[in-house]
Amino acid sequence: MSSDQRVFNFLKERIGLDVASVGEAIIERAVRQRSQAVQAQTADDYWQHLQCSHDEQQALIEAVIVPETWFFRYPESFATLARLAKARLAEIKQMRALRILSLPCSTGEEPYSIAMALLDAGLAPHQFKVLGLDVSPLSVERARRGVYGKNSFRGADIGFRDRHFNESADGFHIRERVREQVRLQVGNLLDPTLLANEASYDFVFCRNLLIYFDQPTQKQVFDVLKELTHVDGVLFIGPAEGSLLGRHGMKSIGVPQSFAFSRHAEPLKPEPVFAPIPAPPPLRTAASQPVKPRPFSTVSAQVVPIKTSPSDAGDLLSQIATLANEGKSAEARAACERYLSNHPPAAQVFYWLGLLSDVAGSALQAQGFYRKALYLEPQHPQALMHLAALLESQGDSAGARRLQARAARSERAESESKR
């Protein structure tokens, strides 16, 4: 067994990470960084140190997990939560506080966003409590500090910052009124004793986590999430994970862009909070047409190069596009790995890896890369359409329609922005 495989297995066992979901290059880069930090001379030296040091095990996990989050990411989810929370309080006749779970909570932006959204919606502090869990002690500690830089505030509407933060020389400090609503602790979703003796939660946020797991681990995690979510509760997920929940019997509550699922079709009967979106052209079902070959079974797909400013990263992205368009799959894949070894993860690179895997006939691997691209850029149009085609070829017409609808909305938004 190679040293790399030993590390891959360690990460799979400890945090459920499927190496294919992020690419070997990212993990190898983390191992190189940690090897230099502990002055390990060989791969075996580092492996032995890793085996003997709990601190180093956690340091490696921290190096692999790069938090990428900000306040009110996917804002429609928080607007929907506010409506559902009011309905849920009425349903339980306000006999207890709402229980809300955020995991992984990363550096705190999501659980604090939940608290701010409910306070802004008029809920009193005694009416809800939020628990944030994360496998990373470093991230949890940063969340407890509650101090954030400008990168945590994105989008056009950041008026909440004036309402809920105090600015100082070292950043924006979240106010005590919000902090008091949130409890933060370290926890691993793969731990069978996690929250074992606690009551279920009315709302659970678990976003962009399932895409990092292989199918058996996804099933294991889903079973835990289902146990944690109240039978009448709602589970909020990432934009690329809807089809995964659909396979396990969860249903969308029908509010566009909320990424909210329940065991019931209409758990709390929310009213739509956005204008209706025209339906995409209907797909023909498998019953009405012969089974067609999987998409991109030959090297014929054209990759649209991403526009970048002149730089080493931009040159490499252009090289990847050229190689892929010329049908040089092995060279294009190697260029993608070089990019991920030397630059931060990019949605376009994972899209190309997905397309190259699609071309090679590796459907499961292609899905993983497309979903990773959508994690980094939820409205990436090519990833949406190619994943939709892949799902349709596998008989998941409902999942394909959802992705096609998102792609259509993305294209309309881009078209309107250019007017």
Q: Is 242 helix (H, G, I), strand (E, B) or coil?
A: helix
Round the CA-based radius of gyration of the chain to a whole number and report it.
Answer: 22
Q: What CATH class has 304-417?
A: mainly alpha
Whole-number pLDDT of residue 148: 97
pLDDT by residue (tens digit) across 234-262? 999 887 677 677 777 788 888 877 889 99
pLDDT at site 287 = 39
Write down the pLDDT at residue 243: 67
Q: What is the DSSP letter of 257?
A: T
Going by DSSP bridges, is the β-strand pair 260-262/165-168 parallel, antiparallel, or unpaired?
unpaired
Tokens of 49: 């140190």
86: helix, coil or strand?
Answer: helix
d(CA 12, CA 387): 25
Q: Which residues of the chain have pLDDT under 70?
A: 1-3, 21-22, 66-67, 240, 243, 265-311, 325-327, 361, 392-393, 395, 407-419
- Rounded CA-CA distance 374/121 in Å is 30
Q: What is the mean pLDDT of the chain?
A: 81
pLDDT for residue 321: 83
**Which residue is associated with the tokens 């869990």?**
133
Give the model confidence (pLDDT) of 117-155 as tens digits: 999 999 999 999 999 999 889 899 999 999 999 999 987
Which residue stretches of 229-346 are H helix?
242-246, 312-325, 329-342
- Which pLDDT score is estimated for 289? 39
First vs last C-alpha separation in the chain: 57
Name the burial class of residue 90, with classes exposed (0-12), middle (13-18) and buried (19+) by CB atoms within 10 angstroms of its CB: exposed
Which pLDDT score is estimated for 196? 82
Model confidence, pTM? 0.66
CATH code of the domain occupying 75-262: 3.40.50.150
Per residue in 34-78, pLDDT (tens digit) is 999 999 989 999 999 999 998 898 888 888 876 678 999 888 899
Write down the pLDDT at residue 71: 95
Domain residue spans of the chain = 3-64, 75-262, 304-417
DSSP symbol at 40: -
